């Protein structure tokens, strides 16, 4: 997800480039995850506006049964990116103060979307990922994955120390 924007930066404001995306990136669990969709880059007065719509496929580990599963989501992105080198003069530029924390083009005017996509995926991923909403998890006694097999240890579910009235039961 690298795009050379050197020529676009020499064009007038409003010029645009469209790119199709079908690429991999290091996801939340450092697996090789996939992104598919489109990116549109529009030249503005001082920068480029990056718009994208990407369908991602990310491998996560279920917080209940510790099995891996795939989470699909659609990311809609809009970010501004500033060049670090002026394409006309070749001199180093200082981005405006409001540009703090945005994507910067490298010295060769290449836009690297990999880290931005990873950050968007991290914000979309659930804090406690579940392979399915009703995942029963692992048996607390023998550790069997209750999605795949019935527990053989006949453990009874642990009773809650809080009774129906909300008071602690002895």
pLDDT in tens, 116-165: 898 899 899 899 999 999 999 888 888 888 888 888 776 555 443 444 44
Task: Return d(Cα 138, Cα 64) in angstroms, integer.
Answer: 7
> pLDDT at position 160, please?
38
With a CB cutoff of 8 Å and minimum separation 6, the contacts of 47 are 80, 81, 82, 83, 95, 99
Is the pLDDT confidence value at 86 over 80?
Answer: no
| Structure tokens given for 156 | 């009874």
> pLDDT at position 28, please?
81
With a CB cutoff of 8 Å and minimum separation 6, the contacts of 136 are 64, 65, 146, 147
> pLDDT at position 98, please?
61
Asked whether the beta carbons of 56 and 25 are under 8 A apart, the reply is no
| Structure tokens given for 11 | 């064009």
Asked whether the beta carbons of 104 and 79 are under 8 A apart, the reply is no
> pLDDT at position 170, please?
46
Mean pLDDT score across all residues of the chain: 83
> pLDDT at position 102, please?
63
Is the pLDDT confidence value at 96 over 70?
Answer: no
The lowest-confidence range among 2-11, 65-74, 132-141, 161-170 is: 161-170
pLDDT confidence of 37, banded at 50, 70, 90?
Answer: very high
Task: Return d(Cα 98, Cα 47) in angstroms, integer.
Answer: 12
Task: Return d(Cα 21, Cα 33) in angstroms, integer.
Answer: 13
| Structure tokens given for 97 | 């103060």
The helix (run of H) or strand (run of E) holding residue 31 is none
């Amino acid at each position: 997800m690298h795009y050379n924007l050197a020529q676009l930066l020499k064009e007038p404001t409003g010029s645009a480039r469209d790119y199709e995306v079908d690429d991999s990136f290091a996801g939340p669990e450092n697996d090789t995850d996939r992104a598919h969709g489109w990116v549109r880059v529009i030249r503005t007065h001082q920068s480029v506006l990056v718009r994208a719509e990407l369908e991602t496929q990310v491998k996560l580990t279920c917080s209940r049964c510790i099995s891996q599963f795939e989470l699909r989501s659609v990311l809609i992105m809009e970010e501004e990116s500033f060049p670090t080198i002026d394409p006309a003069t070749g001199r180093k530029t200082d981005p405006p103060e409001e540009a703090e924390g945005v994507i910067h083009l490298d010295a060769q005017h290449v836009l690297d979307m990999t880290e931005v996509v990873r950050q968007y995926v991290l914000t979309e991923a659930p804090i406690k990922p579940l392979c399915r909403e009703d995942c029963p998890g692992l048996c607390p006694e023998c550790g069997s994955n209750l999605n795949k097999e019935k527990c053989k240890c006949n453990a009874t579910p642990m009773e809650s120390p809080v009774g129906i009235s909300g008071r602690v039961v002895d």
